[in-house]
Structure 1
Amino acid sequence: MLSNFPKSAREAQSDETGATAVEYGIMVSLIAVVIIVAVALLGGTLKETFSQVQCSVSGKTWTAGANGAAGTCA
C-alpha cells in the first residue's frame, strides 16, 4: 500500500488538467472585466450613436445636442 504512494504522487504532479481549467477561468474573468470597463467608458457614446442610427433608419433627421447634451430626432 505504501509502496504505491510515490507512483501516485508522481502521477498527480504531472497531471495538469486542473491547472488548465484554472488558467481558462482566469482568462475568461479578465476578458469579462475588460468588456465591463469598455462598456462603462463607452456607454454614453454608444447610446447616442444607436439613437442616431435609429432616427436615420426611421427616416427622420438627427440634430446633435450642444456641449454633450442629448440629440433630438425630428
Structure 2
Amino acid sequence: KLVSRFLKDESGATAIEYGLIAALISVALITGATAVGSKLNTVFMGISGSMEDAATKAAAQTGTP
C-alpha cells in the first residue's frame, strides 16, 4: 500500500517542473541583463569620451592644464 501510494504521488514531479521553469526564467533574465549591460557600457563610454573632449577643449581655450 505504501509503495503504490508513493508511485502515485506526483508532488515531486511538480516540484521538478517548477524548478526547471525557474531555471529557464533565470537564464533569460541573465541573458537580458548582460545584453542591456553591454549597451549601457557603450553609452556611458561615449558620454565619458565626449566629456573628456569638452574638458580638453575648455582647458586649451583657458590655458589651464
TM over 0.5: yes
Higher relative contact order (CA 8 A, sep 6+): 1
Q: Distance in 1 between matches of 2:11 and 2:38?
A: 42
**Hey, which of these two has a bigger chunk of helix by percent?**
2
Percent of residue pairs identical: 8
Structure 1 stretches of 4+ moved >3 Å: none
Q: Distance in 2 between matches of 1:10 and 1:48?
A: 61
Partner of 2:31: 33
Letter in 2 for 1:14: S
The Cα shift of 1:73 comes to 4.1
Q: Distance in 1 between matches of 2:4 and 2:54?
A: 74
Q: Unmatched 5+ residue regions in structure 1? A: 52-69
Instruction: Classify the secondary structure of the residue corresponding to 1:22.
Output: helix
Q: CA RMSD in A?
A: 2.1
The Cα shift of 1:32 comes to 0.3
Matched, 1:18 2:13: no
Q: Distance in 1 between matches of 2:42 and 2:33?
A: 15
Q: Distance in 2 between matches of 1:37 and 1:44?
A: 11
The Cα shift of 1:4 comes to 2.8
Superposed CA deviations along residues 19-73 of structure 1, whole A, max 9, x for unmatched, are 2222112111110001111222342112233x3xxxxxxxxxxxxxxxxxx3214
